[in-house]
Chain A
Amino acid sequence: AQRVTQPEKLLSVFKGAPVELKCNYSYSGSPELFWYVQYSRQRLQLLLRHISRESIKGFTADLNKGETSFHLKKPFAQEEDSAMYYCALSPLNGNKLVFGAGTILRVKS
C-alpha cells in the first residue's frame, strides 16, 4: 500500500532557526517524491521534487531509501516560509499523487 506519513501537524520555530519537516513513505516500488506548499490564501503549488535535485527558496530534501524518508530542510527559517507543507509520492512514471496529512510551519519573529 502507498502511504505518506508526516508525523508533525504543527512545527513552530523562530526566525533564523533551522527547519526540518519530516516525511516517511511506504511504497513497494521506486516512487517519485514531492513537496507541495500552500501559503495563506494561495493555491497549492509545487515546492520541489526529488528527481530535480534542486534547492527552492533555500529548501532541500534528500531521499533516503534505507529509511524511506524525504525530509524537507532549510538552514535558516524566514517568516515568509510560514505555510502548510505536504509531502507526496507518485509511482515512477505515474501521475497519481498520494499526499501526507500536511505540516503547518509557523515561523515566529
Chain B
Amino acid sequence: NAGVTQTPKFQVLKTGQSMTLQCAQDMNHEYMSWYRQDPGMGLRLIHYSVGAGITDQGEVPNGYNVSRSTTEDFPLRLLSAAPSQTSVYFCASSTRQGNTEAFFGQGTRLTVV
C-alpha cells in the first residue's frame, strides 16, 4: 500500500540551483496536485493536473514547473531556487470524481540558503 510517494524527504539547495521533487502514486488517480505548507498560511496550491498531459496553475505557481507524462508521476521542478521557496511541499492525488478524499505524500522539507 504505497499510496503517494514523495522523494526526497529533505533537501537543502543553494540560491539559484534547480531541482525536481518527485511524486508518484499507485492508485490510478487522475487528479494530482502540489501544495506548499508555510506557517500561518496553511497549504497553498502550486500546480495541479486532471490527467496525463494536462496541467494547470494553482494559487502560487511562480518559480515552479510541472509536467504529467504518465498517470502515476507528477514531478515539480524548481527552476532557480530562491529563499522564499523554503517550505514543506506536499503532493496529493484523488480520483477525478469531485469531492473525494485526497491522499497526501509524506512531504518534502526544502531549505534554500
* Interface residues, chain A, with chain B CB atoms under 8 Å away: 4, 6, 9, 32, 36, 43-46, 49, 51, 86, 90-102
Contact = CB atoms under 8 A, between A and B. Distances in A.
Which of A6, A36, A44, A93 gathers most chain B CB within 10 Å?
A44
A93 B99 contact: yes
B104 A43 contact: yes
Contacts, number: 61
B94 A95 contact: yes
Interface residues of B, number: 26
Given A96-B33, A99-B44, A101-B42, A90 B104 contact: no
A86 B92 CA distance: 15
Interface of B: 4, 31, 33, 35, 40-45, 48, 50, 58, 90, 92, 94, 96, 98-102, 104-107
B77 to A, nearest CB: 21
Given A96-B58, A99-B35, 18 more contacts: A4-B42, A32-B98, A43-B4, A43-B106, A49-B101, A51-B99, A86-B42, A91-B98, A94-B99, A95-B33, A95-B48, A95-B102, A96-B45, A97-B33, A97-B92, A97-B102, A99-B42, A101-B40
Nearest to B105: A43
B33 A44 contact: no
